[in-house]
A = this chain, B = another copy of it.
Amino acid sequence: MIEPRTLKGFRDYLPEDQILRERLLDKVRHVYRSYGFVPIDTPALEYTEILLGKGGEESDRLIYRFRDHGGRDVALRFDLTVPFARFAAQHINQLGTPFKRYHMGPVWRGENTAHGRFREFWQCDFDIIGTTSNAADLETVLVIHDLMTTLGFERFSIRINNRLVLNGLLEEIDLAEQTTNVLRALDKLGKIGREGVIAEMAEKGVPAEQAQRVLDMATIEGSNDDILMRLAKEFGSSDKAMEGIRRLRELLAAASAAGIHQDRLQIDVSIARGLDYYTGTIYETFLDDLPQIGSVCSGGRYDNLASLFTKQVLPGVGASLGLDRLLAAMDGLHLNAKTGATAPVLIIQFIEEKLGEYQRLGRTLRAAGIGAEVFPEAKKIGQQLKYADRRGFRLAVLAGPDELAANQVKVKNLATGQEEVVAADELVAVVKKALGENGSDGG
């Protein structure tokens, strides 16, 4: 006998959790589609060269990499961004620009599992490519906003910044060549504090005075207007920083005109996202009630998506939603009503010989958009009702010999225990009324 087990860092999703994941993915998809984003899919497996670039020869422990039967050096994708870059290089001439895609699927990383990290997890990415227009940056804010409200979060803030502001500052104080080190250190501000950031910058050779200046700028507080005014005053001499400030100002004004409440969109000069990749607007999203879980939706603007694969310059902006982090947050805030049922009605199998009749009742309910399961065995009624309770069904339909003879059925509310005998042809109406608005879904 073989011991049934999953690999370390991998997991099964049992129905209660998978029902929640499907519901979440549906809602996320709905938001993306409502803005005209279109879906794509790419293979789980790609040439390693595509995923890691030509410099990726040294073995990277984070990647699941192997040789296939044909001797090809292949790997499982570790994010959805690199496959999108490859996809865009291959297909953008056919698709045309601007091109707005979403992509939801699993990625694999050989992560250290010590801190509850998983080696297989889902990402939900959306991007607008082929335009440098600030309209796309605004739309990214609106999509993040709608994702949060659609998922039931009421207290959250989208923090935005523009890399041009920080880049301008670093040029002004002669730290341009230290950009990566400075941003990496700054990115840890929340975790290691001011002194920690200064210490880390010092290690990289950044003098304390300059480090202090960076931190002062990064931690300006106040209203968005205050911050913009202060930045403009400090950086009047840097064209780069002023362009970043102009774009932030324009984005805030348009978001406000579009009806986004100003409390939900906050300038935060400290968010840098330690990726060289981003070049303009940067986004992070925090839940007011669970700040410790970090950003649940992050992204930014980049100058060129697919420079590894094509000479065609493809600027764009987008963000990625962390599905598992969000599910954990929703659990934490009790936004997830768990259920083990996908259909609200269980039809009791009273008499084995009448199975066809019970399934006919089921078909009648399903045709009216109401999920209905027929218990597969003519067990004792008590056992069937116990099953209904355990799974989370809301109503049971019972039809014994007397009811069948009279062309009637009994509808039992499993929460209250109330029973009602109704004519068989009133079943749909009675069940719809009993279920209220959620008639079509057990969840």
A residues 26-71 touching B (CB-CB < 8 Å): 29, 32-47, 49-50, 53-54, 61, 64, 66-70
A residues 108-149 touching B (CB-CB < 8 Å): 108, 110, 120, 128, 131, 133-136, 138-139, 142, 146
A253 in contact (CB, < 8 A): yes
A411 in contact (CB, < 8 A): no
For residue A328, give the distance in angstroms from its CB to the closest CB of chain B. Answer: 17
Q: What 0/1 pattern do residues 191 to 230 of A give for CB contact below 8 A with B?
A: 0000000000000000000000000000000000000000
B342 touches A33 (CB 8 A): yes
B14 touches A91 (CB 8 A): yes
Residues of B within 8 A of A91 (CB): 12, 14
Question: Contacts A35-B371, A91-B14, A359-B142 known; A120 to B310 CB distance under 8 Å?
Answer: no
B1 touches A69 (CB 8 A): no
CA–CA, A442 and B37, complex, Å: 11
Which of B38, B120, B366, B391 lies in contact with A19, CB distance below 8 A?
Answer: B38
Number of chain copies forming the complex:
2
Question: Contacts A1-B309, A38-B342, A61-B69 known; A43 to B357 CB distance under 8 Å?
Answer: no
In this complex, the interface size class of chain A, counting residues with CB under 8 Å from chain B, is 35 or more
Q: Which residue of B lies closest to A106 (CB)?
A: B44
A377 touches B98 (CB 8 A): yes
A236 in contact (CB, < 8 A): no
CA–CA, A133 and B2, complex, Å: 28
A11 in contact (CB, < 8 A): yes
A280 in contact (CB, < 8 A): no
Question: Contacts A15-B39, A360-B257, A371-B33 known; A50 to B2 CB distance under 8 Å?
Answer: yes
CA–CA, A355 and B250, complex, Å: 10
A5 in contact (CB, < 8 A): yes
Residues of B within 8 A of A435 (CB): none
B359 touches A38 (CB 8 A): no
Question: Contacts A37-B342, A376-B136 known; A363 to B106 CB distance under 8 Å?
Answer: no
A14 touches B40 (CB 8 A): yes
A45 touches B258 (CB 8 A): no
Residues of B within 8 A of A37 (CB): 342
Q: Which residue of B lies closest to A100 (CB)?
A: B373
Residues of B within 8 A of A89 (CB): 4
Which of B29, B41, B67, B366 lies in contact with A34, CB distance below 8 A?
Answer: B366
Q: What 0/1 pattern do residues 79 to 120 of A give for CB contact below 8 A with B?
A: 000000011011100111010110000101010000000001
Q: Which residue of B lies closest to A22 (CB)?
A: B39
CA–CA, A352 and B136, complex, Å: 12
A382 in contact (CB, < 8 A): no
B308 touches A2 (CB 8 A): yes
Question: Contacts A34-B371, A36-B343, A342-B36 known; A6 to B46 CB distance under 8 Å?
Answer: yes
A390 in contact (CB, < 8 A): yes
A residues 347-370 touching B (CB-CB < 8 Å): 349, 352, 355-357, 359-360, 362-363, 366, 370
Residues of B within 8 A of A249 (CB): none
Q: What 0/1 pattern do residues 408 to 443 of A give for CB contact below 8 A with B?
A: 000000000000000000000000000000000110
For residue A38, give the distance in angstroms from its CB to the closest CB of chain B. Answer: 4
For residue A356, give the distance in angstroms from its CB to the closest CB of chain B. Answer: 3
A355 touches B34 (CB 8 A): no
A346 in contact (CB, < 8 A): yes
CA–CA, A270 and B121, complex, Å: 44
B12 touches A22 (CB 8 A): no
CA–CA, A50 and B387, complex, Å: 31
A355 touches B46 (CB 8 A): no
- 28 A-B Cβ contacts within 8 A? A1-B308, A2-B53, A4-B310, A5-B86, A7-B43, A7-B45, A12-B42, A12-B91, A13-B41, A18-B41, A22-B29, A22-B39, A35-B373, A36-B343, A44-B44, A45-B76, A64-B68, A66-B66, A68-B110, A128-B376, A135-B352, A135-B355, A135-B374, A135-B376, A139-B359, A142-B363, A254-B355, A257-B359
Q: In the A-B complex, list the 5 residue pairs whose CB atoms are closest, starting with the nearest.
A: A257-B356, A36-B373, A66-B66, A15-B38, A254-B356
